[in-house]
């Protein structure tokens, strides 16, 4: 029995193929909340990316992206953290990643707190401590760091895309940092 690797089949779909798949089945994603922690492991800062969406304007987002065929969850997290935060972010990935929650994104608003107009997606959400210097890459303009008290301000949460504000509140609640 031969094993099939990602190079044999290809890891990405063409835009046309992806559009068809998105209309027919859920896609697996990872969401990562970059955090700074103190010596006791308590969250002291939460990072959000500033992005310019296709519709214009500026919005805040978390590190997020698809899991490729034949890719481990841990590898997908590393790839997206490197892509969005840069190679010097120095994320501390868990040896055995376990999400703090599962977010279900629907194209129809209001079914859950999470919305993606393109597709039905299921995302495993992780809290990832980063120790290095974050230099946003690709379509991110900048990364802003907020204390847990600052990040839950209504005006900051209102700038978040697609329900990412709900992920931040859940992450802070799970870690005992939601006030």
Amino acid 87: pLDDT: 87
Residue-wise pLDDT tens digits, 95-109: 889 999 999 999 999
Enter the DSSP assignment of 91: B
Instruction: Name the token pair of 88.
Output: 């010097």
Model pTM score: 0.88
Q: Locate the domains of the chain by residue range.
A: 14-174
Contact 52, 139 (CB under 8 A): yes
The highest-level CATH class for domain 14-174 is alpha beta
- Residue closest to 118 by CA, chosen among 24, 49, 7, 8: 24
> 117 or 10: which carries more pLDDT confidence?
117
């Amino acid at each position: 029995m031969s094993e099939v690797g990602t190079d044999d089949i290809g890891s990405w779909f063409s835009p046309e193929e992806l559009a068809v798949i998105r209309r027919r089945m859920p896609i697996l994603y990872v969401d990562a909340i970059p955090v700074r922690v103190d010596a006791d492991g308590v969250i002291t800062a939460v990072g959000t990316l500033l992005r310019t969406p296709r519709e214009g304007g500026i919005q805040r987002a978390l590190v997020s992206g698809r899991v490729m065929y034949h890719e481990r969850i841990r590898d997908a997290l590393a790839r997206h953290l490197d892509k969005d935060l840069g190679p010097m972010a120095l994320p501390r990935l868990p040896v055995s990643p376990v999400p703090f929650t599962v977010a279900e994104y629907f194209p129809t608003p209001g079914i859950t707190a999470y919305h993606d107009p393109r597709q039905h997606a299921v995302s495993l959400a992780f809290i990832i401590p980063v120790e290095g210097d974050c230099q946003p890459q690709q379509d991110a303009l900048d990364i802003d760091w907020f204390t847990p008290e600052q990040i839950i301000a209504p005006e900051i949460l209102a700038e978040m895309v697609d329900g990412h504000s709900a992920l931040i509140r859940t992450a802070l609640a799970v870690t005992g940092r939601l006030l």
